[in-house]
Amino acid sequence: MIGRLNHVAIATSDLAKAAAVYRDQLGAEVSAPVDLPEHGVTVVFVALPNTKIELLQPLGEHSPIAAFLEKNPSGGMHHLCYEVEDVEAAAAYLKSQGARVLGEIKIGAHGKPVLFLHPKDFGGVLIELEQA
């Protein structure tokens, strides 16, 4: 079912610093910050030859990454995003297998349908599925 690793999301409370580390120390290609108010984050994209890293900083109140940063003030890996052909079919299959799907299918940060899966059912890792 899962295809490419679309991105690894890293939450940070200091996006400028995290972006500078990836640009200046790790020598990666780093985008300008992009505000995504409907997702409650500001994001910097780190382009790698085979996938990307998304550096996320909370934006506004009720950011979905605020609780994570309270528990992990230094930041850290927040979720993995795998591509699937059909998010709706993936949700139906995973539910039939007893896995917990978090909330409803939504339009994600890349304008495509996405779904989040409960970390407790996936080895402690929050997983996003994005329709490719």
CA atoms of 36 and 99, how far apart (whole Å): 29
Rg (CA), the chain: 15
By beta-carbon proximity to a second copy, the closer residue of 5 and 67 is 5
CB atoms within 10 A of CB 108: 20
Count of residues in contact with a second copy, rule CB under 8 A = 40
Kindly name the residue from 38, 54, 83, 128 that is annotated as catalytic. Answer: 128
Half-sphere exposure of 14 (CA within 13 A, CB side): 8
DSSP state of 18: H
- The contact pattern for a second copy, residues 86-125, with x = CB under 8 A and - = no contact, is -------xx--x-x-------------------xxxxxxx
Question: Which of residues 74, 103, 104, 111 is near a second copy by CB under 8 A?
Answer: 74
**15's tokens:** 């996006």
Q: Residues interacting with a second copy, by CB under 8 A?
A: 1-5, 8, 10, 12, 17-18, 21, 24-28, 48-51, 53, 55, 72, 74-77, 80, 82, 93-94, 97, 99, 119-125
